[in-house]
Structure 1
Amino acid sequence: MNRASTWKPLAVLGTAQFLMVLDASVMNVSISQLVEDFDTEVTTVQAVITLYTLVMAAFMLTGGKIGDMFGRRRVFVVGLVVYGVGSGLTAVAPTVGVLALGWSVVEGLGAALVLPALAALVAGSYRGRERAVAYGVVGGLAGAGIAVGPLLGGWVTTYLTWRLVFAGEVVLVLAILLLMRWIPPQPAPATRTRLDVPGAVLSAAGLALVVLAVLQSGTWGWVEPRNPPFTVLGFAPTLFVVALGAAVLYAFCAHERRRERRGATPLVSLALFGNRPLRAGLIALFNQNTVLLGLFFVIPLYLQVVQGLNAFETGLRLLPVSVTMLVTSMCGSLLLRVASPRTVVRTGLLVLLAATLWLIAAIRPELAGASFGWAMALLGTGLGLLASQLGNTVQSSVRTSERSEAGGLQYTAQNLGSSLGTALIGAILIGALATSVTARIESDPKVSAAVAQQVGTQVEAGISFVPADQVSAALATHPEVPPQEAATLVDHYRDAQIQGLKSAILACSVITAGALLFTRHVPADRRPSGPGTDAADGGADDATDDAADGGADDAAGDGGTSRSR
C-alpha cells in the first residue's frame, strides 16, 4: 500500500470528526439570532445546546457497545445517516422544539453511534508512531471544526441564514458515505451479545439528572430557592436532583457489577476504571471540554448580548483561540519526539490556566484590544496541546479488545464535560449576575429602599442576561421608578454583567487548576504505544498484545469480542 492509500481512511474519519464539532461552535456564535428567530430566551438556547451534548454523553456508552455488537464500520455508517437526518431536520426547523428534536436529539444520537466507532477505527487502522500522528490529526480536525465554526457560522448567520450550515452538513455526510470504500471491509463480530438495556437506561437517566440540575441551578438556586417549580423541605431542589442523579449512577454501577458476576456482558466494564492512564486521560478530557464549552458559551453570549456584535463579528473575536488551537493540536504529535504525553498535558493545563487568568485581567466593558486577543490566542494554545495528546492517551492505555469501550468512555467524558461546561459555567454567569446586581443596588444610597426591595424581589424571581438597553426600556414602563434611579440601576446591571463574566471565567481557572492534580498517571514514556497496548502493562508491543488477545485481528476488523462472552 502506497503512502497516499495509507492515509485515506484517516481522511474519512477525520472529516467525520470535523463534522461532529462544527455545528456546536456554530450554535454558540448564533445565540442572539436563534433567540430572535424563535422568539425565545437565552436560557432556552442554552438548554438546547446543553441537551445536544447531554444526549451524546448519555448514549455514548450504548453507541460503543452497539459498535461491538454489529461491527464498528457498519455502525459508523448508520450513525452518519442518523446524523444527516438530524441535520436536515434542523435546517428546516420551524420552532425551537423542532430545533431541539433535530439538533439536540437526532443529531446527538447519530453522534453517539459515530464517535466511539470512529475512535476504535482510528486506533485499529494505525500502529505505533502513525497512530500517534493519526490521533494528532483527528484532534487537529476537531480544532479545525472549532476554528471554522465561529467564522463560517458567523458569516453565514449574519449574511445568509444559520440554516445553511446544517444543509451543508447533509451534503458533507453524503460525501463521507461515498468515500466509505476507503475504509477496508471488516469482518463481522465473532459473537453477537445482547445490549444491556437496563444499564443504558440507568446511565442515561443518572447523567441527565445531574446535568439538568446544574443547568437549572441559575433559575432554581443552589440552596435558597429562587424560582423553582417545587421546593424540598423549603430548599431549592438543585442539590436534591444532583443527589438523585448520583444515586441512579450508583445503581448503574451496582447493576454492571451484578451482570459481570453472572457472566453477562455489561454496558461497560467497571474494571477499566482501575486502569490509571485511562482514568487520567478521561479526567483530562472531561476538564478540557468543561472549560472549552463553558468559555465558548459565555464569551460569545457577552459579545452578542452586551456589546451587540453580530455572529460574524463574534466569530472574528474568537479567531485567535480558534487558529492557535488548530495549529497546536495539528502539530502536537511532533512534541512526542522531545516530551512525554504527561509533560505535554501538564504544559497544556498550565498554559490554559495562565490564559484564563490573563483573560480575567483583560476583561473590560469592550472585549477588544491586544491584551484580550493575546489571552485568547494563549487559550487556544493550551487547548490545542491537550487535544493533541488525550485521544491517543486513552486509546493507547487499553488492549485491542477494549478499544470500543474506551472510545465510548472517551466521548462520554468529552460530552459530559461539554454539557456541564455549558450548564455550569452558564449558571455561574447568571448566578453571579444576580448576586452582583443585588449587592450593588442594596449598597447604593442613590437607590431608594422601596426600589431596592422591588428589584430584589424581581431578581429572586429570576434574572436574564439581556442587553442593558432592554433593562432601560423595561424600567421606563414603571412610573414608580424615577428616571435618575432607573439610570443608576442600568449602570449597576452593566457592571454586574462584567462581574458575572469574570466569575464564570474564574470558575474555568479553578477547574483547570484542579485538573493538574489528576495528571500523575498520564503516560510519561515518549515511545508511541502500539494498537492494543495496555499502558498499565508497561507498553507491550503489538505482537505480544495480539497474542494475549488470542490473535484477534481487531486492528483490521470489527471484532466485538472484548472479553470472553
Structure 2
Amino acid sequence: MKRWRALIVLGTAQFLMVLDTSVMNVSISQLVEDFDTEVTAIQAVITLYALVMAAFMIIGGRLGDIVGRRRMFLLGLAVYGVGSALTAVAPELWVLLLGWSVIEGLGAAMVLPAMVALVAESYRGSDRAVAYAVIGGLAGAGIAVGPLLGGWVTTYLTWRLVFAGEVVIVAAVLLCRRVIKAAPVQGARPQLDAVGALLSAAGLGLGVLGVLQSSTWGWVQPRNPPFTVLGFAPTLFVIGAGGAVLAVFRWWGGRRSHRGDDPLVHLDLLSRPVLRSGLLALLSQNLVLLGLFFTIPLYLQVVQGFDAFETGLRLLPVSATMLVTSLAASALGRRLGPRRVVRLALFTLVVAIVWLLATIDPAIDDAQFAGAMAVLGVGMGLLASQLGNVVQSSVGEAERSEAGGLQFTAQNLGSALGTALIGSLLIGSLAHAFTTRVEDDPQLSAATREEVGVALEAGVTFVPTDQVRAAAERAGLPPAEVEAVADSYASAQLQGLKAAILATGGIAAAGFLVTPNLPAAKGSRPRRPDTADRARTPGPPR
C-alpha cells in the first residue's frame, strides 16, 4: 500500500480539477440567477477556464522542467487554492471569472503536467498502466461526484461551499507533500522560451475566442458583432488570426531548435504517430464530453425545469459507469491493445448519442435517458482507461513534462472547444429554428412576426419558455399569439438541442480517423523514442 500513497495524493489533484468543472455545469441555471446574467455569460466563464488551461498547459510543463516537477505541482496547488477561495466569495460575475476561470485555470496548468510526469516517474511497467487507469478513474469520480454533490449543495445550500471545500482539500494535500518524491535534478536546467509562450497562448486564445463568440457575432453574416471585416462577421478572421499566430509559434520553435536553444516545446514530438493519435483522441474525447455536459444540463434545467440536484441525479449514470469502466478497462487494453479498445469506445459513444437524441422530447422518459447516459459513461470510461498511458508511453523519461503539457493542452483545448463550439451550434440552431417557425406560423400576424424578428436581431439566448411567454405578454400580444410564440420557441429549443448533440456524435464518429496509429497487437507497446530522440531533449527528468 505504501507505494500507492503518492498516487493518492497526485490523483486528488486530478479529482479536484474535474470536480469543479462538473459542479459549474450542473449549476448553470443557479449561476445565471445569482449573478443576474445569461446562459451565454456562464458559457463564456466555463470556456475561459478550459481555455486558460489549454493556453498555459505547455508553459506549465516547461516550468516544471525548469524549477522541478514536485515544486511546480505544490506551487500550482497553492495558486489553485487561492482561486477556489476567491470563487467561493465572488460577489459579481467578473470576480467569478477572475477566481475560477483565470486563477484556478493557471493553477491547473501548473499542476497537471507536473502530476502526470510525477506519476510516470514513480511507476513503471504494469504499475504505470494501473496508475494512469486510477488517474482516469479519479477523473471519472470527479465527474460522478460533481453533478450529484454540486447539485445537492447548489439546491439546498449554495454552490459556493463546494469551492470553500476545495480550499480545505488543497490544504490537506499540501500537508501530505512529503509522500511525493521526484528524481534528483542533474545537469543544466532548460530555458523558458518567453516568446514561444506568448505566441502559443495568443494563438490558442484567439482561436477559441472566435469559436466562443460565433453565437453572438455570427459565422459569416454579421449578427451582433462589435465590428465587421469587409462586411462579414469577424469570427472566421479571428480564428484565422489564431491559426496564423500558431504558425508563427511553430516557425519560432524550429528557429530556436536550429540555433541550439530550448523551444517552449519540441513540436517534432508530434511527428510520432502514436503520440499524435493519442493527443487527437484526447481532444475529441473532451470535446464530446464537455459539449454534452454543457448541453444536457440545459435540457434538464431549462426545458424540463429540474433543479440542480435533480439534474445531478439524472447525470449520475454517466458518471458512475465512467468511473467503473475507467478503473476496470486497463487490463482490457493489455489484452486487446489500445486501438481496439478506443474503437470500441468510439462506437459505444456513437450508440449512446443516437439513443440520447431519441430521448430529447418535451416530456423526458427517465428510463430511456438513464440508459443512454449509462452507455455514454461506458464509452468515456473506455477512452479514459487508455489514452493517458498511450501518450506517456510514447515518449522518453526526459520528455514527460513536455508530453504532459501536450496531453492536457489537448484535453483542455477539447474542453474549451466543446463548450464554445457546441454551445454556439446550440444557440445558432435555436435562433434559426425559432425564426423559421415564427415566419411560417399562420397564427401570427405580420406585425408580430416583425416584432419577433427585431427581437431576434438583438440576440437570442436559451431561457425557459415561461420567460418567452411573459415577454410576449408584456409586448401586448393577443393570448393566442402569445401561446403560438411560446410553442414556436419550445420547439426551437428541442431542435437546437438535437443539432448540438448530433454534432457531438459526428465528432465521435470522426475519431475513428485517428485510431490507425494506436498500438493494436496484444502486448504491443507504442514505439519508444530512440537514442537520438532522447539525446535531442535537453535536461534530465525532474
Q: TM-score range by the shorter chain?
A: over 0.9
- Contact persistence 1:71–1:560 (CA under 8 A): no
Is the aligned partner of 1:79 residue 2:76?
yes
Is the aligned partner of 1:209 residue 2:206?
yes
The count of aligned residue pairs is 541
Cα distance in 1 between the residues matched to 2:453 and 2:534: 65
Cα distance in 2 between the residues matched to 1:220 and 1:185: 48
- Contact persistence 2:55–2:200 (CA under 8 A): yes
Structure 1, residues 226-285: CA drift from partner, whole Å, max 9, x if none?
Answer: 111111111111111111111111111111111111111000111101010000000000
Give 1:192 deviation, angstroms: 2.1
1:556 counterpart residue number:
none
Structure 1, residues 473-493: CA drift from partner, whole Å, max 9, x if none?
Answer: 1111112x3221121010010
Describe how 1:363-442 pairs up with structure 2 within 5 A: 363-442=360-439
In structure 2, the residue corresponding to 1:464 is in which secondary structure? Answer: coil
Describe how 1:117-266 pairs up with structure 2 within 5 A: 117-266=114-263
Is the aligned partner of 1:561 residue 2:540?
yes
2:480 counterpart residue number:
484
1:504 counterpart residue number:
500
Cα distance in 1 between the residues matched to 2:459 and 2:493: 15
TM-score norm. by structure 1 comes to 0.93
TM-score norm. by structure 2 comes to 0.97
Give, as a single letter, the amino acid of the residue that structure 2 aligns with 1:121: L
CA, structure 1 residues 275+453, in 2 after alignment: closer, same or farther (shift >3 Å)? same
1:532 counterpart residue number:
none
Unaligned residue ranges in structure 2 (runs of 5+): none
Cα distance in 2 between the residues matched to 1:487 and 1:401: 65
1:520 counterpart residue number:
516
Cα distance in 1 between the residues matched to 2:373 and 2:533: 47
> Which is further off, 18-27 or 329-338?
329-338
Unaligned residue ranges in structure 1 (runs of 5+): 530-534, 553-558
2:59 counterpart residue number:
62
Is the aligned partner of 1:283 residue 2:274?
no
- Contact persistence 1:133–1:333 (CA under 8 A): yes
Structure 1, residues 516-550: CA drift from partner, whole Å, max 9, x if none?
Answer: 11111111143375xxxxx334x88xxxx7x9958
Is the aligned partner of 1:40 residue 2:31?
no
Give 1:291 deviation, angstroms: 0.5
Structure 1, residues 407-456: CA drift from partner, whole Å, max 9, x if none?
Answer: 00000000000000000001111000000001111112111222212212
- Contact persistence 1:29–1:311 (CA under 8 A): yes
- Contact persistence 1:68–1:189 (CA under 8 A): no
Is the aligned partner of 1:536 residue 2:533?
no
Cα distance in 2 between the residues matched to 1:119 and 1:184: 13
Partner of residue 21 from structure 1, selected from 18, 30, 47:
18
In structure 2, the residue corresponding to 1:338 is in which secondary structure? Answer: helix
Cα distance in 1 between the residues matched to 2:363 and 2:522: 44
- Aligned-residue identity in percent: 65
The runs of at least 4 aligned residues of structure 1 exceeding 4 Å deviation read: 547-550
Cα distance in 1 between the residues matched to 2:47 and 2:519: 32
- Contact persistence 2:114–2:401 (CA under 8 A): yes
> Which is further off, 442-451 or 4-13?
442-451
Give, as a single letter, the amino acid of the residue that structure 2 aligns with 1:293: L
- Contact persistence 1:223–1:236 (CA under 8 A): yes
Give, as a single letter, the amino acid of the residue that structure 1 aligns with 2:67: F
CA RMSD in angstroms, aligned pairs only? 1.7
- Contact persistence 2:50–2:413 (CA under 8 A): yes
- Contact persistence 1:305–1:466 (CA under 8 A): yes
- Contact persistence 2:350–2:508 (CA under 8 A): yes
CA, structure 1 residues 528+18, in 2 after alignment: closer, same or farther (shift >3 Å)? farther
